[in-house]
Amino acid sequence: MYLHQKENWTNFKWNSDKLVALLGNVRHLQGRLLGQMESLGFHLQEEAVLTTLTLDVLKSSEIEGELLNKEQVRSSIARRLGLEVSGLVDSSRNIDSVVEMMLDATQRYTLPLTDERLFGWHAALFPAGHSGMYKIEVAKYRSGEMQVVSGPMGKEKVHYEAPKGKFVKAEMAGLLQWFNNGSQTDPVIKAAIAHFWFVTIHPFDDGNGRIARAIADMQLARSDGSPQRFYSMSSQILAERKKYYDILEKTQRSDGDLTLWLEWFLSCLERALLNSEEVLKAVLVKAKFWEQHQQAGLNDRQRLMINKLLDGFDGKLTSSKWGKMTKTSPDTALRDIQDLISKGILRKEAQGGRSTNYELNVPFAQ
């Protein structure tokens, strides 16, 4: 018997004594991170927000097995936030739609969450009306039944059965009323409960996980009192994906005691906040580099490629890759690279090989 099949199933309970220390530390880390970011200049804050939101969009989709193009996601977010960033690329309609959903949740976190708003998010996730090869109900709550299954065809394992379609509208009305009204519940605890409550109802044919995480991010923005995102919950959930699904499945078979889920959510959030220090470090390294080389007289191609290296370039940088990525001839690519070597910004990698590889010659960026 699943939790939602029990009478008054949303009368959740939990052991506050088991959560108090963990919650206190999370709230302390949130405050400390916001304080650190406020001490930085406006431009650095923008860079940190762009990096974090890019990570959040990428990782929330990756949890569901969908890999998005990082450069397109970053460019789409920068355009929508009006940020002046070099090297922007064109982004696909699909990526723009996913980005719009996340930005609506986090940048407009003070607005009520409504059926129509959720329908807009769902339509953004599935603009073509299909999930893979299958046509689904889009921008409306599902009318059919819903099971969460895994395994190969013919040997599927049922992990969860959601409420029947005829109950979904009423169940969502209860969730939205609770979410939009003030309560005595701590805002971070409320984010965890909203996430669990939504995925328990599983109101859409597909996309429930991504929308649940967007709702949690929206409530976490409320807990911070800021649209600026400096930590990525989705990135940490991806790193702990198996535990995430195990805890959800176990709690959905419970008697309404959410202590186990809340402990995991708070612990995951704590690790996300601690890991955000790496994002901050990368932003500071980038800022320090451009401060040191502001008079270097670099062209747009060089700035684009240096930013890619500072952001974490995948694989080895060669002159042929430089040419392809900057859409220039081999001769122009080599001149760009040799100019950066002469200025002490690039160097040849020590390892030999069939082709010459290049890396940043910046000690603090290693």
Q: Which of 285, 308, 325 is the last residue of a domain?
A: 285
Domain contains 137 = yes
Shared domain check, 122 and 265: yes
Shared domain check, 311 and 197: no
Shared domain check, 350 and 243: no
Instruction: Report which of 279, 245, 283 is spatially closest to residue 261, judged by C-alpha positions.
Output: 245
Considering its fold, how many domains does the chain have in total?
Answer: 2
Return the CATH number at 316. 1.10.10.10
Q: What is the pLDDT of residue 308?
A: 87
Shared domain check, 352 and 260: no
Shared domain check, 321 and 201: no
Shared domain check, 307 and 274: no
Instruction: Give me the helix-helix angle, 115-125 and 93-107, nearest 10°.
Output: 150
Shared domain check, 275 and 190: yes
Domain contains 293 = no
Tell me the per-residue pLDDT of 316-332, one tens digit each, with 9 for 90 and over. Answer: 899 999 999 999 999 99
Domain contains 248 = yes
Shared domain check, 340 and 251: no
Residue 350, domain extent = 298-365
Tell me the per-residue pLDDT of 137-166, one tens digit each, with 9 for 90 and over. Answer: 999 999 999 999 888 888 888 999 999 999
Shared domain check, 19 and 96: yes
Q: What is the pLDDT of residue 366?
A: 46
Shared domain check, 264 and 197: yes
- Cβ–Cβ < 8 Å for 310, 365: yes
Q: How far apart are CA 244 and CA 212, in angstroms?
A: 13
What is the mean pLDDT of each successive set of 10 residues along the chain, which is 366 residues long?
A: 96 98 97 88 89 96 95 96 87 96 97 98 95 94 93 88 97 98 92 98 97 98 95 97 96 97 98 89 83 89 90 86 94 96 91 79 60
Shared domain check, 358 and 278: no
pTM comes to: 0.85
Radius of gyration of the chain (CA): 23
Q: Which of 257, 285, 313 is the last residue of a domain?
A: 285
Q: Which of 285, 312, 347 is the last residue of a domain?
A: 285
Domain contains 291 = no
Domain contains 292 = no
Domain contains 290 = no
Shared domain check, 347 and 277: no
